[in-house]
Amino acid sequence: MTKNQNDDTPQTQNSCAENEELLDAIPAQIWHLTAPDAYGAVNAAHAEFMGRPKSGMENRKITDFLPADEADACAAANRGIFASGRPWAGEQWVRNAAGERRLLYIKKSPWIGPDGKISMLVCSAVDITERALAEERLRESEARWQYALEGAGDGAWDWDIRTGKIFFSRRWKEMLGYSEEEVGDSLDEWSNRVHPDDLPEAMTLVRRHLDGLTPQYWSEHRVRCKDGDYKWILDRGKVIERDKDGMALRCIGTHSDIDAFKRLQTENKETLAELTTLMDHLHAGVLLESPERRVMFANRQFCELFSIPAPPDRLECADCEAAARQTKEVMKEPEAFLAGIAKAIESGKPALGAELELKDGRVYEQNYIPVYLGDGRFIGHMWKYNDITEKKKLEAVRLEVTHHVNHELRRPIGDQVLVLDYLKAELAGKLTPEHETILNSAIGAADNMTRMVEDLLDVTRSETGKLSMRAEDFSLETLAGEIAASKRPFAMKQGLELRLETGAALPAVHADPARVRQVLSNLADNAFKFTPSPGTVTIRLARSAGDPAMAEVSVADTGPGMDKGDLEKVFDRLYQGLQASRKGMTGLGLGLYIAKMLVEKQGGRIWAESGKGKGSVFRFTLPFAPKNS
């Protein structure tokens, strides 16, 4: 980069030119200083970094190219090297010609001349900005994964298998009662604390994972704390870096404190065994969490529903809150999914029937039940999931059928009834007895068809959650009186006596009067059907003997009664019973099923009492209005 004026021969000039070309070909910056604040010569890379031509920098002051404060600091550092004769190396942020801050690794070495004195400083610089930024991103990434792992209260570890050194996080140490400085960075810090009875199996599991025989390392073992006690730890890890031959180079993992969970398992071993057996036979996905929200049990169906590749027993002790945050991504409404879980747990009460829609179109039903032992101790949270996708599809089809029934059947049947009623009125007294019987039969058939259509609609509306109910306070005596008055002429034609017994005055009930009228009318009509003449049908109102806050309505008849088989099935859907079959009665067998559905939706219950040759009694209850309860 410099030449002696006495060596100005052609050979020397050629040699200097070759050296200069060689230096310019080097991507690193190279220059030399003849004084603390003066350039000698520079190569092309340094000139480009400074944004100057080479010839414009040689034998110039550094103050010509740098701001005064930077030039002064640089010159002061250079004077120190000239004075001490010791080389210097380090990293510095320097602005290039474009004003960009670049991190350079700079080396400055003194050059000793023939007279034994320092004649110049030979300097070089390599731009390490990209490498430094990559390292910073890596540090940030590692900080994020450590934060994420420790966010659930777990400790984290990072094992550099090449050097044998392990980084143990602050939380890892705190979990065992140690401060930051009390635990080193060797594998012995862990292995020397593992219980002697647990260490062989733990080391075998580590080795199997390092050898690539398992997808992850997973071990439950006891670890000695600072106070000498042992604590149960769930230790999990995974190799994240291997060499070209498959040798493990780096493994990271977590330490989870499962001591309370293991104690709970021991204390409630028999109860948990019973629960496990029960849940393994359910046709639903079941998850049982500890009070601290660690997995105590998950069945095979749960893993299948949520596409979990691990077998159920490998989920044991996993953090349920963290798992829910991961699972939310498959939900159509992720935040609503998490909020629903939090709300159910906070309430401490069963939460049943929540519907979860997944992004892929599937629909799950979620049920939550807090689990208590017989002595009142709370032992965990139980979640049950059912795939109701097909059920929802059938409901959609059913709604479509309901729509068609409503528009394609009910209207023409209604028109038919109107026409028949009109003919009956217009032809009154003009028909022969035979023709009048035919007309009345047609009217009865049309009325029966109308009732069947309404029954079908009610069942569909109820099963799809579309059944409307308008509860209000009303007098049960008034409603029963109206029904009795309207039914009495029909009963008399049948040769039956219809009685209404009200007893002491009752407070108002709180229910839907139209639906109560529907139930009571259905029970009365059934009694008329099955009671031979002469006979009696009695509607009775009273306060329920079993619950003073409820009114009890009963419809009793003097008919042939029912055997035990009919009595057990009388409220089943589409069940008509032996008596109806013998009498050739038409209908869908939905009346009592709908009556039960309507009563239960209003907070009451319905049941039947009967025996062969003893007649039948149908009873149902309704709540009194709150102010009268």
Which residue has tokens 């143990």? 168
pLDDT at 166: 93
Mean of the pLDDT values across residues 520-543?
Answer: 93
Which is more confidently placed, 194 or 17? 194
Q: Is the pLDDT of residue 280 over 70?
A: no
Task: Read off the pLDDT band of 586 (50, 70, 90).
Answer: very low
> Tens digit of pLDDT for each residue in 243-264?
988 999 999 888 888 887 777 6
> For 563, which DSSP code?
-
pLDDT at 330 over 50: yes
Entry pTM: 0.41
Report the pLDDT averaged over residues 439-451: 69
Lowest pLDDT segment from 427-441, 444-458, 518-532: 444-458
Q: What is the pLDDT of residue 524?
A: 93
pLDDT tens track for 193-221:
999 999 999 999 999 999 998 888 988 89
Residue 330 in tokens:
């498959």
Residue 236 pLDDT exceeds 70: yes
Identify residue 229 by its one-letter amino acid code: D
Name the band, by pLDDT with cuts 50, 70 and 90, for residue 402.
low
Q: Tokens 């092309």 map to which residue?
A: 44
pLDDT surpassing 90 at residue 544: yes
| Residue 173, pLDDT score | 94
The CATH-assigned architecture of domain 283-385 is 2-Layer Sandwich (3.30)
Look up residue 491 and give its two tokens.
């009963």
Residues 6+ apart with CB under 8 A from 258: 220, 232, 233, 234, 294, 317
CA 521 vs. chain centroid, Å, equals 47
Give 5's pLDDT tier (boundaries 50, 70, 90).
very low
Mean pLDDT confidence for 366-388:
85
Tokens of 184: 């080193």
The CATH number given to 469-623 is 3.30.565.10
d(CA 507, CA 559): 32
The answer to whether the beta carbons of residues 381 and 288 sit under 8 Å apart is: yes
Coil/strand/helix, residue 145 = helix
- Where would I find the beta strands (DSSP E) of 128-214? 155-160, 165-168
**Distance between CA atoms of residues 440 and 443, nearest Å:** 5
Asked if the 153-263 domain carries CATH number 3.30.450.20, the reply is: yes
More confident: 330 or 410: 330
pLDDT for 542: 94
Tell me the two tokens of residue 496.
């039956």
Q: How confident is the model at residue 472 (pLDDT cuts 50, 70, 90)?
A: very high
Q: Which of 33-47, 249-263, 430-444, 455-469 has the lowest mean pLDDT?
A: 455-469
Question: Is the pLDDT reported for residue 464 higher than 80?
Answer: no
CA triple 150-154-158, angle to 5 deg: 75
Q: What is the mean pLDDT of residues 535-547?
A: 94
Is the confidence at residue 408, as pLDDT, over 60? Answer: yes
Contacts of 529 (CB under 8 A, 6+ apart): 580, 583, 585
Longest alpha-carbon distance in the chain: 151
Place of tokens 């069942």: 459
Percentages of the chain per state (helix, strand, coil), in multiples of 5: 45, 25, 30
Counting Cβ atoms within 10 Å, is residue 195 exposed (0-12), middle (13-18) or buried (19+)?
A: middle
Neighbours of 280 (CB within 10 A): 13
**For 466-476, what is the mean pLDDT?**
87
623 pLDDT above the threshold of 50: yes
Closest CA to 258 of 319, 325, 167: 319
29-35 β-sheet, strand order: 38-42, 29-35, 118-127, 101-112, 88-95
Q: What is the mean pLDDT of residues 505-513?
A: 93
The pLDDT score that the predictor gives to residue 443 is 73
CATH of span 15-132: 3.30.450.20
Judged against a pLDDT cut of 80, whether residue 36 lies above it is answered with yes
User: Which stretch of DSSP H or E encloses residue 31?
Assistant: strand 29-35
Mean of pLDDT values over 573-587:
52
> What's the pLDDT score for residue 3?
45
Q: What is the rounded average pLDDT of the residues 494-498?
A: 94
- Write down the mean pLDDT value for the chain: 84
